[in-house]
Homo-oligomer: A and B are copies of this chain.
Amino acid sequence: MDPRIRKHAEVVVDHSTEVEAGDNVVVSAPPAAEDLTLALCEVVGEREAFPLHVAGRQDATRAAFLRAADADALDAPDHELALAEAADVWIHVRAHDNVADMSAVPSQTMSAFRKSHSPIREEILDTTWVLTQFPAPADAQNAEMSTPEYEQFVWSAIDKDWDAQREFQDQMVEILDPAEEVRIVSGETTDLRLSVDGMTTINDQATNNLPGGEVFTAPVADSVEGEVLFDKPLIHQGHEVEDARLRFEDGEVVEHAASKNEDVLTEVLNTDEGARRLGELGIGMNRDIDRFTYNMLFDEKMGDTVHLAVGRAYEACLPEGESGNESAVHVDMIVDMSEDSYIEVDGEVVQRDGTFRFEDGFEA
């Protein structure tokens, strides 16, 4: 086995999820991630914890089930719920035989599935969970890279000094955490204002996402005003949505458009009420991710990007006891901030053309 796979498993088990003896660990991974799954089961075994391997979230088996299922009969099954309730650690490994497998599922069924599956997702979010990527050939193809090149890209972004990264990101947390208003401007197409007053900014140091490398918070749900064009295509359940545009009034999407697969975007926004509001504002800060790969787990961490998610807010960002924006979906979309762009926090520019205030070359 490639020693980088064993190292990947160690970062997942020892850094991201800190597996301890006796932990009930679920390894949710598709066949395309077989080698990493083997390494994870091995490392979990060495830690005297208990791995249970289940199919991945976007596995072809789930596509086969959903293609055949009656959308009206979907429900949160007791056995998956019981498993999620009893799990201490949940390791999601993303990898594909074919990134378009889920595209065969009617979007209505997909939407019904996401809704019905919410209670299970909530239980998984209550575990110590992590989402990571195994560099399978289909994912390399999706990134428009050869498999060896993509392997190098993925493992470089994962096997890094997470302490140093955390310190770098802390500088942005110190700006955003006490802030009230954020404004994001890019060219003529994006000018969005939102409040983060009272919200907590999280320093993502590769606990829930591996690779990590962003800071993120939750917008106050009804505070979002303005327009945004997402420069990078959004891949949702195997469909590529290009040039997605959203216009917000009082926090709600009142207009939307896309140049390709607009109906997929419409379906996402119609999932439930919370799907028309923002649940996340994130700022990418991982300089080791140096190119777009059409994979949100990586793209949103890039240093000269901002991402916004419609749907569910992360509980960790919310004031104690507040529920924040609720939804069965959480769909991230990216704004490229590398040119003709800036982020303003409480009236001060904190990033211009991708360079942060605390970095060399910043021009206020």
Contacts of A70 in B (CB 8 A): 48
A52 touches B77 (CB 8 A): yes
Name which residue of chain B comes closest to A85, CB basis: B82
Number of copies: 2
Q: Which residues of B contact A21 (CB under 8 A)?
A: 73
Scan A70-98; emit 1 where CB is below 8 A from any B CB, else 0: 10010101111111011110000000000
Nearest-Cβ distance from residue A39 to partner chain B, whole angstroms: 8
Within 8 A of B (CB), among A8-50: 21-22, 24-27, 31, 34, 37-39, 41-46, 48, 50
For this complex, into which size category does the number of interface residues on chain A fall? 35 or more
Q: Which of chain B's residues have a CB closer than 8 A to the CB of A73?
A: 21, 48
| Chain B residue nearest to A90 in the complex (CB) | B79
Q: Is the CB of A45 within 8 A of B22?
A: no
A123 vs B82: C-alpha distance when bound (angstroms): 14
- Cβ–Cβ contact B65 & A26, under 8 A: no
* Residue A60 interfacial (CB < 8 Å): yes
- Beyond contacts A45-B66, A51-B65, A82-B85: 7 other A-B pairs, Cβ-Cβ < 8 A, are A24-B78, A31-B34, A41-B65, A42-B65, A44-B68, A46-B68, A52-B55
Residues in chain A within 8 A of chain B (CB atoms): 21-22, 24-27, 31, 34, 37-39, 41-46, 48, 50-55, 59-62, 64-70, 73, 75, 77-83, 85-88
